[in-house]
Chains A and B, each alone.
Chain A
Amino acid sequence: MQIISQILFLLALVAGIWFFTRNVKRLIRNIKLGKEIDRTDRSGERWVKMSRIALGQSKMVKRPIAGILHVIVYVGFIIINIEVLEIIIDGLFGTHRILSFMGGFYNFLIGSFEILALLVFIGVIIFWTRRNISNIYRFLSRELKGWPKNDANYILYFEMVLMLLFLVMNATDYQLQLNGVAHYSQEAGVVGAFPVSQFLLPIFDGMANATLIIIERAAWWLHILGILIFLNYLYYSKHLHILLAFPNVYYSKLQPKGEMDNLEAVTNEVKLMMDPDADPFAAPAEDEGDAAEPEKFGASDVMDLNRVQLLNAYTCTECGRCTSECPANLTGKKLSPRKIMMDTRDRVEEIGEIINKNGKFEDDGKQLLDDYILREELWACTTCNACVEACPIGIDPLSIILDMRRYLVMEESAAPNELGISMTNIENNGAPWPYNQQDRLNWANEN
């Protein structure tokens, strides 16, 4: 009987890890649809930034209520998962609380896990009320309707159930140890400390040992299966941030926020134009070969974005702090930086699905621009960087907006009319208004 349970456990574990690996491979493949970008410089600074922002959650607490609750759930989740190690060993070898040889320290660990589990449980319930009952601006946006809202709630239900199972498992285990049942009780006496689950004991009062064992085993199995399922739910969910927040912060931009990248392809064109020795009729260099097709300026689909931007999209946990700081969104415009990230991810996923089916990407007649992100959204941006500043994990929605504007202007000449006029002015007379450059110093002589 015991051996069957061990084999089943091994199968579940292998299946869980296999499926997870498959999803991670797809994730990496999809991110690699984007253009290469070198963000490996200044690694020291990057590590520091990652420890501060991702590991240390420094930007989360800028909003104290959500921030502190999040830190509790985050710390709880990481620390309680140490227990998963023991569960896996126990499951594989049919042991009971294998790590209990650590004695007092073990009791301290289990005791801490229990307290954290309770705090996580409470935290998650408050999160749920904030999402579903309180009228919080950033949880009411139109882009959260449907799957995103359900996704957020599923995650919360998952965590509630996992914490509850953990505590029930401990409570029944404790009772079985007290009852001196074989396999559970140890010579050293009761192992583990149960500061929270001891209060659940009255529920199991008077139950037969056999019943207790069933409940304990059921809770134990559901808990670990739940964790394996949750692990594999990540790829389909906004919850992927628990893994990707770290690389995402690491690869985030280190330059001042105001600085926007200079397109190299444009630099080369401009150099050629300004070079008096350039031969406009020169044949393209031989070695260019297949790359002779001119580079597309800006982005109309996800393949035109870079890999960090696609990583950003997968990392976004749709908290909406960006949107709630966006001047355009606050004044009723369609632009929502969060939607930019969600749309980007949805489109990458759509392309990923096509590749899953056909082995390669075949044009599906759709693109990120217009089919997902509207021009009206892109033109509402003031490039103020409030969204970038607000993101607790280093996502840069503005860079995507800018790349898409570049496509609109440089590939389609589709700037809003007045903006087009001001650009013509800059080109003709060196100012966005139609004033003569020769009048530039007139102010000095005016009173």
Chain B
Amino acid sequence: MAEALKVPTMAEYMAEGKKPEVLFWVGCAGSFDDRAKKITKAFVKLLHNAGVDFAVLGTEESCTGDPAKRAGNEFLFQMQAATNIEVLNGYEIKKIVTACPHCFNTIKNEYPALGGNYEVVHHTQFLKSLLEEGRLKVEGGKFKGKRITFHDPCYLGRGNGEYEAPRDLLRKLEVELIEMKKCKSEGLCCGAGGGQMFKEPEPGNKDVNIERTEQALEVKPEVIAAGCPFCNTMMTDGVKSKNQEDDIAVMDVAELIASAEDL
């Protein structure tokens, strides 16, 4: 693991007069959160493996404004959006892939009216298309036959109607895909959305991530698969609070694929 990952930036591409096939929007969690950085790296490995010509914005990337908007700070959101759109349009970006459903939702749905029009896909959708195009090979590997349940991120599932892409990928891994009682359009939130990630919860009798973890534990999974860095944190904390972290892993779909292929 000595060698560093090759991660080209848009600035470098621009200097060489090239344009990448797709921009990888890393997001704040993917850039700074220690757990989420592993997801970012796993995804980058898959991109390399599939021979995808991609670049990141690197230090030119900034928060999409999602947590600010949903906390009610429309002003800050639109400031962030304006800045990001200026950068993206400056590089004439056409297609964006991101491993964060919040970034995905915001750029895909809320940027167009502010002047940012791009084709935006979630990394599970992108990986699925790579698979269909035959650029990425996924089969069995070490998760074959393992009991895995997928926790739907709100902003991928209910928010944008994508329930199948992550499941299709898991099926390709030949895992035993088991559904929680509450899944897909009825999936329970992990408790992080709407700015909750960055504040203490209101008084209640339980934390949302504990409730969701209990629902996951009901189906006795070996792995809880996630598709969002925030869900990942919340579910990881939930599993820890139940002292099950040695038996149950919480992993992003991209990590599952990368790890199955021993990348």
Contacts and interface: CB of A to CB of B under 8 A. Distances in A.
A421 B61 CA distance: 20
Contacts of A384: 154, 158, 189, 193-194
Contact of A334 (B9, B160, B202): B202
Nearest to B38: A443
Contact of A418 (B113, B158, B186, B198): B198
Contact of B28 (A332, A416, A423, A431): A431
B109 A259 contact: yes
Interface in B49-65: 56, 58-59, 61-63, 65
Interface residues of B, number: 73
B191 A327 contact: yes
A327 B186 CA distance: 11
A430 B62 contact: yes
Contacts of A95: none
Contacts of A27: none
B14 interface: no
- Residue of B114, B188, B192 with highest tally of chain A CB at under 10 A: B188
A8 B161 CA distance: 57
B229 to A, nearest CB: 12
Interface stretch (B139-147, B168-176, B206-214): B206-214
Interface stretch (B66-74, B88-96, B238-246, B255-263): B66-74
B70 A331 contact: no
Contacts of A334: 202-203
B202 A333 contact: yes
B73 A262 contact: no
Interface string B228-253: 00000000000000000000000000
A262 B114 contact: yes
A408 interface: yes
Contacts of B59: 437-441
Contacts, number: 224
B188 A267 contact: no
Contact of A410 (B31, B72, B198, B212): B72
Interface in B92-111: 105, 109-110
B225 to A, nearest CB: 19
Contacts of B73: 406, 409-410, 415, 423
A405 interface: yes
A32 B212 CA distance: 41
B76 A262 contact: no
A438 B62 CA distance: 10
B161 A427 contact: no
Contacts of B105: 256, 258-259
B109 A327 contact: no
A43 interface: no
Nearest to B80: A426
A256 B202 contact: no
Contact of A267 (B69, B114, B189, B200): B114
Contacts of A333: 201-204
B40 interface: yes
B162 to A, nearest CB: 10
A276 to B, nearest CB: 12
Contacts of B212: 327
Nearest to A390: B186
A361 to B, nearest CB: 26
A327 B211 contact: yes
B71 A405 contact: yes
Nearest to A427: B76
Contact of A406 (B72, B194, B202): B72
Nearest to A256: B160
Interface stretch (A191-199, A212-220, A350-358, A373-381): A373-381
Interface in B108-153: 109-110, 113-114
A263 B75 CA distance: 9
Contacts of B75: 266, 269-270, 297, 410
B202 A258 contact: no
Contacts of B198: 418-419, 421-422, 432
11 contacts: A266-B78, A298-B74, A380-B202, A383-B70, A384-B154, A415-B73, A426-B80, A431-B28, A435-B32, A440-B61, A445-B4
Interface of A: 255-260, 262-263, 266-267, 269-271, 273-274, 297-298, 325, 327-328, 330-335, 376, 379-386, 388-390, 402, 404-410, 415-419, 421-423, 426-427, 430-433, 435, 437-447
Given A402-B70, A422-B199, 13 more contacts: A258-B154, A260-B69, A262-B114, A333-B204, A381-B194, A384-B158, A389-B158, A419-B198, A423-B76, A426-B76, A427-B76, A441-B31, A446-B37
Closest 9 CB pairs of A and B: A258-B159, A405-B72, A332-B205, A383-B194, A430-B62, A332-B204, A259-B109, A384-B189, A409-B72
